[in-house]
Every structure is written in C-alpha cells, then in structure tokens.
C-alpha cells in the first residue's frame, strides 16, 4: 500500500486512526467528574501535540538516522514562525503561502548552519548548533526588533497591507487564518451522554499535514538514502575508505530536519498568528531532544509518542493546583488530606518538570529504547503467553 511494506502500512494506518479519533480517545472521562481534569481532547492541546509531533519527526531524521545531536533546532522553528507571520501580514491570511515560506526560510537557514556545524562531530557539533540557536535568539530578541517585534513578539495588525486579502473584516477585526476559505479556528462540540467532544478544523488540518510528513519519513527511512544516513551513523571512516563523502548526506538530512521544524513553526502561526523569540531559546531545542529520546529515537512512531507524553504533561499536569488536590482527597480525614496534598503538590502545577524528570529517568533506566521498546516488550510477553497456551492446548489434545 502506497509503496510501503506490510509492517509500515500497519504502522501508518495506526497513526491515521489515532489522529482521526484523538478527540474521542483523549476524552475518556465524563465532564464534571473528578477525573475530567485528565481529559486532553480539546483543540489547543491536540493541535500542539500534532505540531510538536511533526517537529520531533524531523529531528529524528537527523538524530535517529545520522546520530548527529543538534541542540539548536528551535532556531528553525522560530524562523518558520516569523516567516509565516510576515507572509500573513504582507500577502494573505491563507495559510498555504505562509507554510511554504516557513519551510523555505527554515531550509535556507539550515543550509547555512549545517554547512558550518557539520565540519565537526560529536559534542562539538552539538555545541555549535546550540551557539547558532542562541545567536538567532539574541538577534530576534533585541537586534532585529523591527522584523521580529523584540520581546513583545510579531503579531498581525489592522494596518497590514495584505495584498491578496482583506486587511480587516467588516466588523473592524483582524481576519482569521484560513485554508482557501475554510477557517481554521472553527470548532464543533457535540455531546454523547455525559461526555462532550470538540472537533476542530485547525486540528484536522494539522493532522492531515502530519500524515504526509510521517509518510515521507517512512519512505526516507526505507530508501537507499536512508541506508546511507545509517552508514553515516555507523562508521564514517569506513564510508570515506570506500570513496564516499559522508558530509553531503549529513547536510541533506540536516536541511530536511530543519524544514520539518520550519513546517512546525508555520503551523503554530496558522493556529495562532503570533511569533516570539521564546520559540528559539535553547530550552525549546532541549524539549524536542527529550521527545525523541523518550519515545525512541531511530524509530518511526517513537518521536510522536514522546511528543504526546511531554505535551500532555505540560498541558494537564501543570494545571493541577492545591485546590484541585484538596478536592480529590477531601474524602479522607483532614490530616491525611493535608499530608497527601503536601507530598504531591511539588510534582504538579509549576513543578510539572519534576514529574517529567521522573518519567524520563524511569524510561532511560528501564526502557533505553524509549516507549516503543516498552510496547515491543509487552507484545513479546503476550506472544509468549499465547504460545504457551497453544502448547498446553496441544498437549491436552494429545493426552485426550
């Protein structure tokens, strides 16, 4: 199917099904219940999950295949965001030109940074990419203020020329982003018993783009070019001895990865037309590294799972405060209630990073291959149990 083998086709269809039913799957608890706090099927979270999933897919092409660990990929995310906003300010609120310019801008920047950084490898490459990203952040935050908006960020205004679209609506408001007339901020809510589900146009637009991005990643992983990238990761010296120069392959992977990041930045703007320098800071680059390692770097679906875990923890766990904890444990005596709140409170709210740190530590210690390795272990365990049951049934039939 679509040029994929049976295993990749199954994985591709699983992702498509997950994206289609995500608004339902991530809302397992009835509204108004105590557990409704953990529902994550609302549009903002779903869009963020998909966008960072695309970001992680692109980063995995570089890190997972070539072994080059970049600490500066947030620079491409930020440049893509700025390019998208400028396209909306000058040309049209249609998100297609904005996404195209975002990808191209990130690609050009990645060529420049990759050409210099790939002259070194290992920790030196990582430090170089981090330095370039911090340079981009400083430029966006202070030096290039007329282009980036400085610390306040770049936003749309009623005075934007917008050659191919209205500068403002009939009501005097700034037009909203759209896809050939289909407004991306539209959403429909429907109730099923005690559950409430919200279906967003913007989310499914991002989901369709993720499907294509994931499909391209699969084809790249299975292509001869993907094998060359694995050779770069395995042993560059042997490649050189055979007459192959590994640097062009690594640079190509770096540029493709940067363009994925630019696409993610453009989608952020398509959902919320705002670009700020904080998207280029080093912590943003660190997040995508964590996402990829947590899910399983070098795997196809691992980075998406890792992005989902981190985005969920940030969006759900960080919103739990002391008041919510007291509501949860109000059934216990006051002393027990206060003790439980005191013990748990440091790991929620502003302390959600502690929870993420514990999760990351447990995965690294017990599942070095990430969440994907955990899934493989469970599958192997179930497979062994099934074989044992079949053997027992066969023995019983023979005895009978």
Domain count within the chain = 1
Non-local (6+) Cβ contacts of 240 within 8 A are 246
Non-local (6+) Cβ contacts of 1 within 8 A are 9, 12
Over 90: is that where the pLDDT of 58 sits? yes
CA max distance for the chain: 87
- Cβ–Cβ < 8 Å for 288, 304: no
342 domain-assigned? no
- Interval 266-304: pLDDT, tens: 999 999 999 999 889 888 898 999 999 999 998 999 999
Q: Which residues on adjacent β-strands are paired with residue 192?
A: 195
Q: What is residue 161's predicted lDDT score, i.e. its pLDDT?
A: 85
This model's pTM is above 0.95 = no
232 domain-assigned? yes
262 domain-assigned? yes
290 domain-assigned? no
> How far, in Å, CA of 187 to CA of 283, rounded?
32
Over 90: is that where the pLDDT of 190 sits? no
Which of 159-163, 256-260, 307-311, 332-336 shows the lowest per-residue confidence on average (mean pLDDT)? 159-163
* Mean pLDDT computed over 107-129: 94
Provide the CB-side half-sphere exposure for 33 (13 A, CA): 12
> How far, in Å, CA of 39 to CA of 92, rounded?
35
- Interval 198-214: pLDDT, tens: 899 999 999 999 999 99
**CATH assignment of the domain containing 158:** 1.10.3470
Give the range of the structural domain holding residue 203, as residue numbers without chain letter: 6-280
**Token representation of residue 331:** 């059934």
312 domain-assigned? no
50 domain-assigned? yes
Question: What percent of the chain lies above the pLDDT cut of 70?
Answer: 95
> How far, in Å, CA of 352 to CA of 286, rounded?
16
Q: What is residue 399's predicted lDDT score, i.e. its pLDDT?
A: 58
Cα 65 to Cα 33, 37, 48, 104, 293: the distances in Å are: 44, 38, 25, 23, 13
382 domain-assigned? no
375 domain-assigned? no
């Amino acid at each position: 199917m679509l040029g994929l083998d049976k295993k990749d086709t199954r994985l591709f269809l699983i992702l498509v099904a997950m994206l289609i039913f995500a608004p339902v799957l991530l809302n397992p608890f009835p509204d108004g219940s105590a557990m409704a706090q953990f529902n994550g099927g609302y549009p903002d979270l779903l869009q963020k999950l998909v966008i960072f999933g695309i970001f992680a897919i692109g980063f995995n092409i570089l890190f997972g295949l070539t072994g080059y660990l970049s600490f500066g990929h947030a620079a491409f995310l930020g440049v893509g965001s700025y390019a998208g906003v400028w396209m909306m300010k000058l040309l049209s609120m249609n998100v297609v030109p904005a996404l195209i310019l975002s990808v191209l801008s990130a690609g050009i920047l990645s060529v420049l940074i990759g050409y210099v950084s790939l002259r070194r490898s290992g920790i030196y490459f990582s430090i170089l990419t981090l330095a370039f990203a911090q340079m981009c952040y400083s430029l966006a935050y202070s030096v290039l203020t007329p282009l980036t908006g400085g610390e306040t960020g770049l936003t749309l205004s009623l005075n934007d020329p917008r050659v191919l679209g209205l500068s403002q609506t009939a009501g005097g408001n700034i037009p909203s982003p759209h896809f050939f007339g289909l407004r991306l901020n539209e959403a429909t809510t429907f109730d099923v018993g005690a559950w409430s589900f919200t279906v967003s146009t913007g989310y499914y637009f991002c989901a369709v783009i993720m499907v294509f991005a994931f499909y391209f990643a699969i084809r790249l992983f299975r292509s001869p070019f993907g094998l060359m990238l694995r050779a770069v990761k395995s042993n560059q010296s042997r490649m050189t001895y055979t007459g192959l120069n590994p640097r062009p392959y690594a640079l190509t992977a770096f540029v493709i990865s940067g363009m994925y990041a630019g696409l993610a930045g453009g989608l952020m703007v398509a959902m919320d037309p705002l670009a700020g320098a904080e998207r280029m800071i080093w912590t943003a680059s660190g997040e995508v590294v964590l996402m990829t390692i947590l899910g399983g770097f070098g795997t196809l679906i691992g980075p998406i799972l890792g992005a989902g875990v981190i985005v969920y923890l940030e969006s759900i766990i960080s919103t739990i405060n002391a008041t919510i904890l007291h509501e949860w444990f109000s059934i216990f005596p006051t002393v027990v209630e206060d003790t439980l709140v005191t013990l748990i409170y440091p790991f929620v709210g502003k302390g959600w990073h502690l929870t993420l740190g514990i999760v990351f530590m447990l995965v690294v210690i017990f599942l070095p291959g990430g969440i994907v390795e955990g899934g493989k272990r469970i599958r192997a365990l179930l497979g062994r149990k099934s074989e044992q049951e079949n053997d027992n049934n066969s023995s019983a039939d023979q005895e009978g």
